[in-house]
Amino acid sequence: MTAPIQELRPGRTDGHEPAVRLDAVSKVYGRELLALDQVTLSVDQGEFVCLLGASGCGKSTLLNLVAGLDRPTAGEIDTRDARIAMMFQEPALFPWLTVSGNIELALRVTSSGRNTTKKERRARAAELLEIVHLGGFGGKRPHELSGGMRQRVALARALAQEADVLLMDEPFGALDAMTRDLLHDELERIWRERELSVLFVTHNVREAVRLGDRVVLLSSRPGKVIEEFPVALPRPRRTDSAEVAELASTITDRLRQEVLRHARPAAQGPGSGE
């Protein structure tokens, strides 16, 4: 497990290369909509970084840029040729395929999977389902599973891509609290075992503190990094623990300040005298 980060980045001098590095990245849509503004951020190898910010601050845009699904308008993104997998809020499984079939499809596009037989891919899919505690469910269709189980399948599919970096865009946002808590445990276990680098977007401050080595706060649009919070709490953590609640409260207060700062000019409006 990566030790909690004790100082902000950039400016590291310990000689380690980050798994993901964004240097002064900006993204403009159309002619005027500035979504991200000069974002500089890094994720160390094996580090779990959570992104927080108000709706529309560019968190998902940032993930899309790192994943290569879009290109920045300015700045540089370096992933050091890492294998990247992405999870979304919705599992996005193919309903006409079995659970195993969904994972096998991902295996077929990996460098190792292209040279394997269907039998070998099926065996590997079964191994991945065991990892996410869904052994024996390979023959089920997605509609036969609960929401939490479908997200476990989506996680297994992401792992099938032999990822070094896992990008997660509010993957547990639609789940009930108990299911979310159980999946936190599963994700943390897999992250430790696989030594993954994780960039995790959430609106849930306690979730960010529960999971992250570091919580990065983005400003309201245009998104830019305004503060980072090292999470120096021992693992495993619980979302209802006093320590998690205390740090989450501090981050929430800072987020509230940012939301109010952004809303105030709009509320004053033209001719307000301010």
pLDDT of 14 higher than 50: no
pLDDT of 273 higher than 80: no
* Angular region, 75: left φ>0, alpha ψ -120 to 50, beta rest: left
Query: What tokens were used for 130?
Result: 């065991």
pLDDT of residue 217: 95
Domain-located, residue 88: no
pLDDT of residue 66: 95
CA distance 1 to 196: 10
Nearest to 155 by CA among 202, 87, 106, 83: 87
- Domain of 34, CATH number, reads 3.40.50.300
Residues 73 and 174 in one domain: yes
CA distance 53 to 249: 14
Domain encompassing residue 149: 93-162
Q: Last residue of a domain, which of 145, 162, 179?
A: 162
Nearest to 126 by CA among 155, 99, 161: 99
The number of domains in the chain is 2
Mean pLDDT throughout 152-175?
Answer: 90
Residues 170 and 236 in one domain: yes
Q: Last residue of a domain, which of 102, 133, 162?
A: 162
Q: Last residue of a domain, which of 143, 162, 181?
A: 162
CA distance 59 to 36: 9
pLDDT (tens digit per residue) in 100-156: 999 999 888 765 556 678 888 999 999 999 999 999 999 999 999 999 999 999 999
Residues 73 and 181 in one domain: yes
Name the residue with higher pLDDT: 5 or 252: 252
Mean pLDDT throughout 82-86?
Answer: 91
Mean pLDDT over all residues of the chain?
Answer: 86
pLDDT (tens digit per residue) in 249-266: 999 999 998 888 776 654
Residue 11: band (very low, low, confident or very high) from pLDDT cuts 50, 70, 90 = very low
CA distance 119 to 272: 70
In the block, tokens 């400016």 appear at: 11
Residues 116 and 251 in one domain: no
